[in-house]
Chains A and B, each alone.
Chain A
């Protein structure tokens, strides 16, 4: 069932458009001005700069969308260029075939470099890709008979570099267009649900799986996009330089592309362009007279930018502009209110069908040890459909571990978990989420770089949407889309995460201490939302909570956990008189019962 949306998804987010226009003009001016002035040296230098921009935009996808560290971009570019050059210059293939072979070889190299990302991230991946980039020239030399490493390979361009008007040729037009296309492509990705999914998977893989995403697959897709950009850049490189040799693609190129992204401004449209200006054009051309000091200047520039503008030049300029324009962040201080969403909830309760009488979730004798600690020691519980089910217990009793075992974030040593009669014990967390198991965390996984609405709308959505809820939040989508998540207070971040979980259309949503850090008013609203969700839909709410007042008021069933086992379970009224757990409820004397 499709839901009505008051906001049409935009291909490119509004706040990116100004920078796209500026970027397009910068690229076009850089390549076309020397072209029309007939300055061949600067024409070639600027085309090479455009090639680097293409590769850097791809690397930025990895760095800023997927949060992966790679020093292999220059090697991917190099392999694509080298193979294209060999195909054209040695194997005598037509240009178009050579380009295709180059692209294919670059993609294969990029995906090989991506393989370790399935197991490890961050600096591990950094060192591996660094080693890959360092190994490439050695390999080219080792296979010198095949690669003609001693002489290098010259390329013949079949006339695409013949002048059309002045010194304008198809090559210049093509490379310029591809560079502009690259920055547009980056912006489209940044504006898309796919891009948001990548970002969530990169910043918080555990949150991504709870909305049904597959982080490993998204990482590989990010590597594929990045490698594609590098391969296109490699093929363009061959066109611009018309020669490749064993020394053309050293580690220095990969490191430069990495710095272009970091220094230019990660995640910014203009970042790759500014980075190329500062780290290629300035040291290689503007300060060409200081050849001996090139590396020193280059390294020092990077250090200075990192000290002065840690978010890169584009990020630093953005902040400066915002300060100058004094546009107060009034809008971002608007709070998310759950009240209007609650008002939209239908009053009628869902009638109990036959289906509703079978339990939704059955946990049976689940055990899990961490070393010698038995976090779960034979826990069993049953969660009924359309109820609010609370898990309470002292600190360290195994509540969160139980929730993790249900969501699939940890595996269990023994025991079973069944959802709607189906054994999901060995089902992955992501697949469980797609079956309808939603989840929130003690520390809300809200991405500061996205708007509030983007944070809510960044996962996979099931077919079972909560219709009234979708209609209610759709009315706020446009407003929330202008709100900056970075300035939200803690309680509001929790709301965002809960809204994200509900937006996915779950059959059960598991909340880990959702009321911690909420104000009294927020708690009331929040409790009401959970009740309404359970009462008006068949969605079940499973909640781990320390606030017993809240639990007592909203839960249909309470399960008490201690020492990794369930020691009692029942309605609040039943538990009220239970002596085994009385010590847990000291101080809760004004409950409604």
Chain B
């Protein structure tokens, strides 16, 4: 009974973190058509910044905690915008519309290399800032429910922003026809960089809040972007509500498999899930089938 509760709470928490990555992927995708392979490394970047910048013993009651939060968000957003610019420039050329696959992966390698140069190959330990949730016998760290709350808040915030502000609306529709937007006088590149920055900030929020729930090291970024992508696919690429629901489901499944079969099979499980979803329902559970091509 208690085990099931722990699996559910931890799974939903880590799954919500993947949902936050998925929402970041969706945000940049809807604005640029790019699925940023480096999103996982941005998460790790935020985790490392949190580890290095948070004063010892600072908790949610301390103003330093909030200052560090702002610093981590801003720093990661800047890194994301620079990476976005490097990705977007080759795409503006004729026939360059698919260059993002190579440039975002190369970006992730450069980020990973810089992180390793910065802190070495160590795994960083970020403390849990949110106390513990008592269970009938035992307790789980508060970071897990906190991640669920964060995912809900970000989802609602994005929804409000994208339905109430012209810039939000533009972000959501820009990738449909960038040329038309540019012709209509929309500063497409600025909006697209804004999307990359905002996506990086959301991921940074997830990294700041949730680093104690996952392993932060330069070599783990790829795992996290793959998990985030899988959640995005299950929810339907571009669909945040789908990601919000798919994340915890996926997280609980992963937690359950780890519990039953031991660790080390997370990626294998994820691979099985993504293959099954793509073979059975490629548009995702909440996505719509593609329009005709001819």
Contacts and interface: CB of A to CB of B under 8 A. Distances in A.
Contacts of B101: 69, 123, 126
Interface in B62-93: 86, 89-90, 93
B94 to A, nearest CB: 9
A216 to B, nearest CB: 13
Given A120-B282, A132-B271, A298 B99 contact: no
A119 B101 CA distance: 20
Contacts of A307: 86, 89-90
A205 to B, nearest CB: 8
Given A116-B278, A131-B226, A206-B294, A302 B267 contact: no
B222 interface: yes
Contacts of B116: 295
Given A69-B101, A119-B278, A299 B113 contact: yes
A486 to B, nearest CB: 10
B183 interface: no
Contacts of A123: 35, 101
A115 B275 contact: yes
A255 interface: yes
Interface in B194-231: 222-223, 226, 229-230
Contacts of A131: 226, 230, 267, 270-271, 274
Contacts of B107: 299, 303
Interface stretch (A138-146, A490-498, A545-553, A582-590): A138-146
B280 to A, nearest CB: 9
B267 A135 contact: yes
Contacts of B110: 295-296, 299-300, 303
A464 B282 CA distance: 39
B222 A251 contact: yes
- In this complex, the member of A115, A122, A126, A299 whose beta carbon has the largest number of chain B beta carbons within 10 angstroms is A299
B135 interface: no
Contacts of A119: 278-279, 282
Contact of B233 (A118, A124, A135, A302): A124
Interface string B257-294: 00000001111101100110011001000000000111
Contacts of A124: 233, 278, 282
B274 A138 contact: no
Contact of A259 (B102, B117, B292): B102
A127 interface: yes
A116 B106 contact: no
Q: In terms of DSSP, what is the predominant structure of the interface of chain A?
A: helix
Contacts of B98: 122
A329 B222 CA distance: 46
Contact of B102 (A130, A293, A306): A306
B278 A135 contact: no
Contacts of B278: 116, 119-120, 124, 128
A355 to B, nearest CB: 31
A302 B271 contact: no
Interface string A81-121: 00000000000000000000000000000000001101110
B117 A296 contact: yes
Contacts of A387: none
A411 to B, nearest CB: 11
Interface string A174-217: 00000000000000000000000000000000100000000000
Name which of B89, B95, B229, B230 has the most chain A CB atoms within 10 A of its CB.
B229
A132 B270 CA distance: 9
A409 B293 CA distance: 9
Nearest to A122: B98
Given A131-B274, A300-B110, A255 B105 contact: yes
Interface string A439-459: 001000000000000000000
A262 interface: yes
A352 B268 CA distance: 65
Interface in B88-145: 89-90, 93, 95-96, 98-99, 101-103, 105-107, 109-110, 112-114, 116-117
Residue of B110, B117, B264, B266 with most chain A CB atoms under a 10 A cut-off: B110
A409 B279 CA distance: 21
Given A130-B226, A306-B90, A400-B294, A135 B271 contact: yes
Nearest to A71: B105
Contact of B106 (A141, A292, A303, A400): A303
A22 interface: no
Interface string A236-264: 00000000000000010001001100110
Given A127-B226, A130-B222, A310-B90, A293 B109 contact: no
Contact of A295 (B89, B90, B113, B223): B113
A410 interface: yes
A404 interface: yes
A537 B150 CA distance: 70
16 contacts: A120-B278, A120-B282, A123-B35, A127-B274, A128-B274, A131-B274, A255-B109, A258-B105, A259-B105, A292-B117, A295-B109, A298-B113, A303-B103, A310-B93, A310-B99, A409-B294
Interface of A: 69, 115-116, 118-120, 122-124, 126-128, 130-132, 134-135, 138-139, 141-142, 206, 251, 255, 258-259, 262-263, 292-293, 295-296, 298-300, 302-303, 306-307, 310-311, 370, 400, 404, 409-410, 441
The 6 A-B pairs at the shortest CB distance, nearest first, are namely A299-B109, A295-B113, A299-B110, A302-B106, A296-B113, A135-B267
